[in-house]
């Protein structure tokens, strides 16, 4: 990600690990040719191997990764998580992760609204931690115990 001259975000992606990907696709195609469980579609059908549609070789464009998450689990125990419950790294005082990494897995729905809500929650926590007054905003209300919530 970079910014252009006008300050707009520019996304750029360069595919890597191409040879390994091509070998994997070739191996999967060979397995599909060997299986014979599908009497309707022939040997190249995936029905005998997979229970859903499969598009071999198609590349997912950058916009197609909207549901990616995981890899940086959060929780109370530093032995089983990298982030605390406020998405701060257990071992670093100035590192917060507020993208989809804190999820351990995803449902089949877009997690963007939950990620946004969590980022707002962490931002409110940071604001309090740094001693800054919360900006007056009709969409945020404090709940008992001082934990902010987002009102939809």
- Give the pLDDT score at 24: 86
pLDDT at 146: 44
pTM of the model: 0.48
51-81, pLDDT tens digit by residue? 455 555 566 666 666 677 888 888 899 999 9
Distance CA 121, CA 90 (A): 18
Q: What is the pLDDT of residue 150?
A: 36
pLDDT for position 96 = 93
**pLDDT, tens digit, for every residue of 78-122?**
999 999 999 999 999 999 999 888 887 776 677 888 888 999 999
Residue 13 near residue 62, CB atoms below 8 Å = yes
Q: How many CB atoms lie within 10 A of CB 103?
A: 20
Give the phi and the psi of residue 102 in degrees, each rounded to 5: -70, -20
Task: Name the band, by pLDDT with cuts 50, 70 and 90, for residue 142.
Answer: very low
127, two tokens:
């604001």
């Amino acid at each position: 990600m970079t910014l252009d001259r006008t300050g707009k975000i520019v996304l750029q992606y360069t595919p890597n690990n191409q040879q390994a990907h091509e070998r994997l696709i070739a191996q999967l195609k060979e397995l599909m040719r060997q299986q014979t469980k599908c009497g309707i579609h022939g040997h190249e059908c995936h029905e005998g191997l997979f229970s859903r549609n499969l598009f071999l070789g198609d590349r997912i464009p950058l916009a197609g990764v909207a549901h990616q998450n995981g890899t940086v689990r959060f929780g109370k125990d530093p032995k089983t998580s990298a982030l605390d419950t406020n998405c701060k790294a257990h071992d670093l005082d100035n590192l917060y992760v507020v993208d989809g990494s804190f999820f351990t897995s995803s449902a089949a729905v877009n997690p963007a609204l939950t990620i946004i809500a969590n980022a707002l929650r962490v931002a409110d926590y940071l604001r309090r931690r740094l001693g800054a007054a919360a900006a007056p905003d009709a969409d945020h209300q404090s709940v008992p115990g001082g934990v902010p919530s987002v009102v939809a």
